[in-house]
Structure 1
Amino acid sequence: MDVTGRDLRALFSTNDHSVRADEAFTNRSLQWEVVAAALTAHLEHISAPGFDAGDLEAARDHVLVFHGVGGIGKTTLSRMLEAALTDAGRRPSQWGEPGWPADRILPVRIDLARSAGTDFEQIVLTIRAALTRIRRPLPAFDLALRRYWEANHPGEPLEEYLRRSTLGSRFGQALPQQMQSALADVAQALMLPGTIGSAVGQITGALVGALRERRQTVRALAGCARLADLLEAEPDLDALSFYPHLLAWELARLPQGRRVVPVVLLDTVEDIGDRTRRDLERLIQRTVWLLPNAFWVITGRSRLQWADPALQGQLDYTGPAAWPGLAHTAAPAARAQTSGARQILVGDFSPEDCDDYLARRLTRHGQPLISEAVRQVITARSHGLPLYLDLSVARFLELSRSSRAPRPGDFDHDFPALIARTLSDLTPDERHVLRSVSLLDAFDVPLATRAAGLAHEGPALRLTERPFVREDPFGLWPFHLHGLIRSALRTTDDTTDDRWSERDWQQAAQRAFTTLGEQHPTTAGPDRRLLIACLRQGLRLARDHRLDLGWLTPAAWTYVSDSIWEPLAPPDTDSTALDTAADALVELLSALARRQHQHRSHTVTRLTTVIDSRLLPHDLQHMALYYRAKAHRDLGDSPASRQGMQAVADGQSRLAAAARRGLAHLARIAGDFPTALATARTLGWEGRHHRIQGDIWWPHGAMDRAAAAYAAARDEAEHHAVTGERANSQAHRAFALAFTDPTAAENELALAEQLLAGLDLRATTLITHIAALARDAGRTDGGVDDRAQVLRAEISAAGVTYTELALDLVLAFHHAVRDDQDQVAEAIAGLRENTRGGDYAYYSDIAAFMARLPLEEASSALWIDGAEPTRQRWRSLVTARRDHLCTPR
């Protein structure tokens, strides 16, 4: 960072003379690199033998555009570029040395802001006045300019105008002297008598005649083929815009030792007009085109549209063939050099740059006046926008005038000035659309138009071209607002004349919500990404604006039907303050999604809060009851789970079949396999009948039968496009086959992992890890015990009790294969202790079956075909694994 000068406004905000208020410039080295590279390429281009400054048809690549939101630092960048090109000593050290001689560059900065009062005449005069530094007349241009001035400013000498304007102080009075010298030289060449000052018309007429007759006396100007036409044309403002062609010719014929390249920096270009009034823009664009040996750096809020073919007729030179570098809005500066783009989006400050800026902005005895804690808060709220930093500095000084030092909490603050700056150059319709889309995380043109309640898309389309609208071409809705601008529009007291009332905001929220509802898919499947996007935005709108649930109810059912559990916005706040149905639905879906990352006891607590609020409609209330019952089951609380499942099954809601499946699970968990199997056969697809049967057959050691049932469940889920169920069934198939065929299990696990990719199914993922241990059971090189220890910690964090019992069972299988009777006995004791409540008590029976041990405390399990066949099947799995491990591979 380098300091560019004193901040007088801040300096006059305090009586403390020890406070130093400086205008701090945060290093924009990437932007400088783009300028340096482009200027270097321009110098090489105009120095090439084939370059012709008078070529009116060649494409132009001598313009560089920096655009960005108001307050991003474009004007500061423009000033620093001027300073760096003028004086190497003022160039920030981080910017490095340029690759051109300093005396060859002539920077000319022109502020086009309305407050500066710059008109087209002044633009032309400024460029010509800057060229007085080469200390020689430019007769072709000077004669045309003098003729224009006398025709349009009769009685006002140019010398007097320059003396009264800022141009005189910037460039002195060299311009009138050089123009007089040019006129004298032309008069002498034409052998005209009289006073030169009063003979401009006579000189012009004589020169035109001499040029037409190709007299030898004016051979110096005869090379300018269009000079006579320009001198004969009516000397109006339109003709003035063509005179830069004469400047280009004059610059091209300068002697090698005096040849310079003007670098014209046009700032605040957004103030030269709007999208329908382009009169001044047309004159400026013509000037830029006709002066190709100059280099132009243009800064403004919006990108230049000169490469848009649709502007043909409004501007003289349009289309991508004319302006190849302007044909696409470049990306950030980091990619501009490689892409060849000439439109650069000025990005936000990094957090480090924000802190550095604030630390240097106000100092006392060389130390930062703004404390680190305050700087952190300002930086976090600024989203990297320099204007916010400046406004915060002003607030800091305002608060400092009170009796206490500013604290971090004082800067949890929004500024109305941000809104005023953002809205200042928008049309009323564009402002209306902007406020509407501030309600949305992302949008496209149709969504923005509908949210604004407009019948035509033009305002929304124009708004997307503004720099505070960011674009993600890969997003479902590609546009989103700059974070700080969006926050300010939604939360700051609006003092503008067309500010919205609370009713206006409410109506806009309802329009946006309704439009999202029209887009959301009604079935799970390939449109799930759109479903999640609609839910995220719709939930936030409904919660923040207390809207009726409407389409969110069917969308919630579509969300849970696929069992994928993507995180949903708004962020998970674990809030217990539920006031509306929307609050309750947000908490319900958030709890369901977050249960993949939280202990199941936390899920129970959150769902109980939703259920007790009684804010949800009947069917969604049953959704909460069902998933709480599932969480109770995972925690090993079968009575609570059974009570919840029975309530949902009796209620005939959408989850009634799933609840009956849950009751079948509970019967299986209790060891009542006949009841579980009979129930499973009545469930159909909605009750996941095939998967339930697989869950019944594998405890019997009938792994092939279980694997076939799981495969049928997987295929049925694929037919119904239920991604989560497909992955879950495949994981359980891999688990069953892991006991019988390690090679086949390897392939099944790979498929399970492939189907789980991108899904958030924690319990299912744990099953695949347990299956991998079963696949490696009995091996001495598999690290089974160490891997089991790590997996046990993951299971404990998840609070999914039944998976830990399955892990213990797999370890018992591992020890039985290795014929480690002590370890098997220890595993049986552990299983018996952990299943004393009755659930999964038959796991200790299975462990004894594996090792051919007697049942000291047989469970009350009701086996489908009796205990003895089950014992034989499990023992056969152990002996088969031993044979497999002994077989050379």
Structure 2
Amino acid sequence: MLFGSNDRSVAAEEAFTNRQAQWQAVVAALADHLQRVASPSFDVEDLASARHNILVGHGVGGIGKSTLSRKIEASLAHRQDRPAQWDAPSWPTERILPVRIDLARSTGTDFEHVVLSIRLAIAALGRPMPAFDLALRRHWERNHPGEPLEEYLRRGGMLSRFSNAVNLPQQMQSALADVAQALTLPGTVGGAVGQLTTALVGALRERRQTVRALAGCTRLADILEAEPDLETLSFATHLLAWDLAQLPADQQITPVILFDTFEDVGDRTNRDLERLLQRIVWLMPNAMFVITGRNRLQWAEDGLQGQLDWTGPTAWPGLAGHVPGSRGRSGPTARQILIGDFSPEDCDDHLARRLTRSGQPLIDENLRRAIAARSHGLPLYLDLAVMRFLEIRRSGRAPQLADFGGFPALISRTVSDLTTDERHVLRSVSLLDAFSVPLATQVAGLAHDAAALRLTERPFIRDEPAGLWPFHLHQVVRSAIRHAEDHTDDRWSPQDWQRAAMRALTALGHEWSHGPRRDRAMLIGCLRQGLRLARDFSLELDWLTEAAFSYVGDSVWEPLAPPAQDHEADAALNTPAEALVETLSALARRQREHRAHTVTRLTTIIDCNLLPAELHEMALYYRAKAYRDIGHSQDSRRGYQQVADGAGRLAPAARRGLAQAARLAGDFPTAHTAAQTLGWEGRHQRVLGDLWWLQGEPERAAVAYLAGRTEAEQHANSGEAAHNQALRALAVAFFDPHQADDEIDLAHQLLANLDLRATTINAAIAALIRDAGNPALDDRIHTLRTELDLAGLASMTPTLELAAAFHQAVLADHDALAATLSRLREQTRNGDYAYYADIAHFMAGLPLEAPSPAQWIDGADPTRQRWRSLVTARRAHLGTLR
């Protein structure tokens, strides 16, 4: 950062952000470790007991694992270096000896380097570690003949890192001298390490008193006799643990060994170095190990038997508990923690402190907020954004939000340690919002699940076990792979992306039509992902046509529209997929916007003529419904007739619309005759129910609505069931307020997970009718009038006014009724619902001087008597309550 600008007033600093939860996990794990080691039952030579001396932090590349590792080391070494947000540990830090070892390939660290680093850190105690030092000296002379250890340490730079490194050769020499003296060997020991170890092994085997100080180390002789190679050196760390355990109580220390960049140790098929490192962890149970890397450790999995020395949940209980779709166990004994994303507040703090001038953030607040949102909490993205900020600033212009999109470095950092197949799967699933292992394999076009299974274990894969598909990519990683310029050797061409999109669309169609779960949730999940793929890659609609009809058939209307593309939302439609996305979006959004907007949107789709015939009819049919809702009856009838004449799959629904149009006009006999031919597809029972209550026969209507609800439930159509139940509640409310309570409650239960605005308002009107005759209904009526106006549901307003008229007739409030009749006449000037004014007169027992042209099924007089009886029955009911 400092070399990114000539402006010396710009200050760049490392911005470490909180990570308090991870520090608390370290503190808890170390406290537990200290308690175990201090127990009288603890035995450093016990090689059978489970190991609890490990904590693993894993996370996506660039999440801040190495920074966290460095901060932990500094905090354990020096109390004053602990970040202010981190609580102070309860143990004295002088009894803790941290050593951090970066295992990154770029550092050139090998196993010898690891072992030497641990021993050099312990050299700070100023004491030889006799058992281990003997084994180390023997290993060194055999594997580095003629090369003094001091020279090696000096050349490798280790002397500068470990302040007491210069003392290690002397400490080793002291250990050798002490053993030589105990064995009364003549001469100098420097050139006689082989002779010395032979003599020592003999003395140990013979249990001589002269070597009683080392005789307690039961495995020393075996290690000194073994071939001094790397395998033996790894086992020799057991001797170092034993040496530490022999220290006097007042000199006891606990090494905390931090292995960073553990993903560079090897891969899932080459675990040679990992096996050596695991031995250190197992054979040094009195040391605490904090491992950070991209991937969770698999040591607790039984399937690794033979590849590593100690495996399974019995050996590593704190590492156990991970299953596909889970991030591992939680709780005090869990020792694998996911190092997650920054919070929005932490992102802003990071950006504010990364670059400053005169103590003030160089990046302004609005730009910081926008960058933080695009980063989805990934620290690497924040640092790349800071570098781009400086780069743009050098060019002489002010950085803008548009400058901060995808970063190619995110791709290279993400895929660097993946196999070829894993990278292929990764790019494939970046096309999906969520996926399962089988779905990922199909989209990648692979024959086996292995690569997808391995990929799900990576930290940039998030999991939601309760989700329809359990896995999804970290959003910023997904965005980078999909949109940033890819410079990797195996990057995909546009044709590769197109083929992958086609595979993905086909796989989603198979999930919906042949998968183990064929319910509404699966339909919606497949449609949401499939519509976006078809739109973004201009694919054929294929199974999306059938899925679209399944979607509209249930009348639930969950939001479906995928995120908008880069072009404006009102840009011209160019492909059938774009037209279908817009169609289904318009149908879902009509539950939350004025129906006039629905008419406009559907007209645009119809005029572009991109949809195949049956989907074109879908747009025509729902535009006809929207026309009816806003009171354009003639336009509505023409649309219904056009669809009915087409004899497609929506023809029964269109014939129902025509029957309903006859009902709105007051031609009840025609509507009744048409209902007999509609069947389930035309919702005949609902049409009959709509007819019967208008004739003053709500009991008969309630029976029809119940039959309609039962049919809908048999066809698993929750939307239609809710429609019928809300209307049944409305009918029952006229003649039995007590029963209406239960019917309204059931309607709300059926509507709980549905987005059906008109049906919800019907349930509210039912509640008004139930409460007719009780005071204080005016406010509720006014609220519903406003809601209907906002929704553009003009066709429902007369029903609300009729409910008000029933209430006013029960109260004999003729002034209020006169106002309601005036509103009804105004609302029904086009001829639809004109008979509602007739019914209001029937209810109040008023003479009707200018009746509508309505054709009552059994005549006007019987209808008048029935409506008047409902009013008088309500008055009697209210009288009994008083």
What TM-score do the two structures reach when normalised by structure 2?
Answer: 0.98
Counterpart-to-counterpart distance in 2, 1:286 and 1:518: 47
Match of 2:582 among 577, 581, 587: 587
For 1:564, the equivalent position in structure 2 comes to 556
Indicate yes or no: 2:172 matched with 1:179. yes
Moved more, 452-461 or 313-322: 452-461
Q: Is the 8 A contact 1:332 1:347 kept in 2?
A: no
Aligned amino acid, residue 90 of structure 1 = D
Deviations 1:524-548 (A, max 9, x none): 9961111111111110110000000
Q: Is the 8 A contact 2:204 2:221 kept in 1?
A: yes
Indicate yes or no: 2:386 matched with 1:393. yes
Q: Is the 8 A contact 1:524 1:561 kept in 2?
A: no
Indicate yes or no: 2:415 matched with 1:420. no
Match of 1:497 among 475, 489, 495: 489
Indicate yes or no: 2:429 matched with 1:434. no
Equivalent pairs counted in the alignment come to: 877
Deviations 1:159-203 (A, max 9, x none): 111122222112230111111111111111111111121121121
For 1:7, the equivalent position in structure 2 comes to none
For 1:36, the equivalent position in structure 2 comes to 27
For 1:6, the equivalent position in structure 2 comes to none
Distance apart, 1:337 and its partner CA: 6.4
Match of 1:513, SS state, is: helix
- After TM superposition, the structure 1 = structure 2 runs for residues 291-302 of structure 1, keeping only pairs within 5 Å, are 291-302=284-295
Indicate yes or no: 2:147 matched with 1:156. yes
Counterpart-to-counterpart distance in 1, 2:92 and 2:515: 67
Deviations 1:723-764 (A, max 9, x none): 111111111001000010011111111111111121111110
Q: Is the 8 A contact 1:302 1:467 kept in 2?
A: yes
Distance apart, 1:575 and its partner CA: 3.2
Counterpart-to-counterpart distance in 2, 1:409 and 1:12: 24
For 2:54, the equivalent position in structure 1 comes to 63
1:308/1:174 CA distance change after superposition, 3 Å: same
For 2:667, the equivalent position in structure 1 comes to 672
Match of 1:841 among 834, 837, 844: 834
Q: Is the 8 A contact 2:128 2:172 kept in 1?
A: yes
Match of 1:429, SS state, is: helix
For 1:231, the equivalent position in structure 2 comes to 224
Aligned amino acid, residue 48 of structure 2 = E
Deviations 1:667-717 (A, max 9, x none): 101111111111111111111111101001111110111111111111111
Aligned-pair Cα RMSD in Å: 1.7
Match of 2:810 among 789, 795, 817: 817
Match of 2:292, SS state, is: strand
- After TM superposition, the structure 1 = structure 2 runs for residues 685-724 of structure 1, keeping only pairs within 5 Å, are 685-724=680-719
- After TM superposition, the structure 1 = structure 2 runs for residues 66-85 of structure 1, keeping only pairs within 5 Å, are 66-85=57-76
For 1:476, the equivalent position in structure 2 comes to 468
Indicate yes or no: 2:656 matched with 1:661. yes
1:522/1:286 CA distance change after superposition, 3 Å: closer
Counterpart-to-counterpart distance in 2, 1:551 and 1:146: 72
Match of 1:794 among 787, 793, 796: 787
Indicate yes or no: 2:766 matched with 1:771. yes
For 1:5, the equivalent position in structure 2 comes to none
- After TM superposition, the structure 1 = structure 2 runs for residues 232-251 of structure 1, keeping only pairs within 5 Å, are 232-251=225-244
The structure 1 segments of at least 4 consecutive aligned residues displaced by more than 3 Å after TM superposition are 329-337, 521-526, 571-576
> Identity, % of aligned pairs?
66
For 1:261, the equivalent position in structure 2 comes to 254
Aligned amino acid, residue 258 of structure 2 = L
For 2:302, the equivalent position in structure 1 comes to 309
- After TM superposition, the structure 1 = structure 2 runs for residues 231-380 of structure 1, keeping only pairs within 5 Å, are 231-329=224-322, 338=331, 340-380=333-373
For 1:548, the equivalent position in structure 2 comes to 540
Distance apart, 1:331 and its partner CA: 13
Distance apart, 1:339 and its partner CA: 5.2
Deviations 1:807-836 (A, max 9, x none): 111111111111111111111111111111
Match of 1:50 among 41, 45, 59: 41
For 2:604, the equivalent position in structure 1 comes to 609
Match of 1:744 among 732, 739, 755: 739
Match of 1:109, SS state, is: strand
Distance apart, 1:449 and its partner CA: 1.0
Q: Is the 8 A contact 1:730 1:748 kept in 2?
A: yes
Counterpart-to-counterpart distance in 2, 1:670 and 1:259: 96
Match of 2:100, SS state, is: strand
Distance apart, 1:334 and its partner CA: 12
Counterpart-to-counterpart distance in 1, 2:454 and 2:327: 26
Distance apart, 1:879 and its partner CA: 0.7
Q: Is the 8 A contact 1:730 1:751 kept in 2?
A: yes
Gaps of 5+ in 2: none
Aligned amino acid, residue 201 of structure 2 = V
Match of 2:15 among 5, 11, 24: 24
What TM-score do the two structures reach when normalised by structure 1?
Answer: 0.97
Match of 1:242, SS state, is: helix
Match of 1:23, SS state, is: coil
Counterpart-to-counterpart distance in 1, 2:90 and 2:783: 59
1:786/1:590 CA distance change after superposition, 3 Å: same
Counterpart-to-counterpart distance in 2, 1:818 and 1:766: 24
Counterpart-to-counterpart distance in 2, 1:792 and 1:54: 82
Distance apart, 1:373 and its partner CA: 2.0
Match of 2:85, SS state, is: helix
Q: Is the 8 A contact 1:143 1:204 kept in 2?
A: yes
Q: Is the 8 A contact 1:567 1:590 kept in 2?
A: yes
Deviations 1:14-65 (A, max 9, x none): 1111110111111111100111111111111110111111110101111111
Aligned amino acid, residue 712 of structure 1 = A
Counterpart-to-counterpart distance in 2, 1:310 and 1:331: 14
Moved more, 687-696 or 572-581: 572-581
Aligned amino acid, residue 849 of structure 1 = F
Deviations 1:395-441 (A, max 9, x none): 11111112222223322x21111111111111111111111111111
Distance apart, 1:89 and its partner CA: 0.8
For 1:732, the equivalent position in structure 2 comes to 727
Aligned amino acid, residue 552 of structure 1 = L
For 2:678, the equivalent position in structure 1 comes to 683
Moved more, 811-820 or 793-802: 793-802
Match of 2:15, SS state, is: strand
Match of 1:197, SS state, is: coil
Indicate yes or no: 2:592 matched with 1:597. yes
1:523/1:589 CA distance change after superposition, 3 Å: farther
Match of 2:99, SS state, is: strand
Q: Is the 8 A contact 1:373 1:408 kept in 2?
A: no
Aligned amino acid, residue 389 of structure 1 = L
Match of 2:512 among 516, 520, 531: 520
Q: Is the 8 A contact 1:523 1:558 kept in 2?
A: no
Match of 1:133 among 124, 139, 143: 124
Aligned amino acid, residue 226 of structure 1 = R
Gaps of 5+ in 1: 1-9
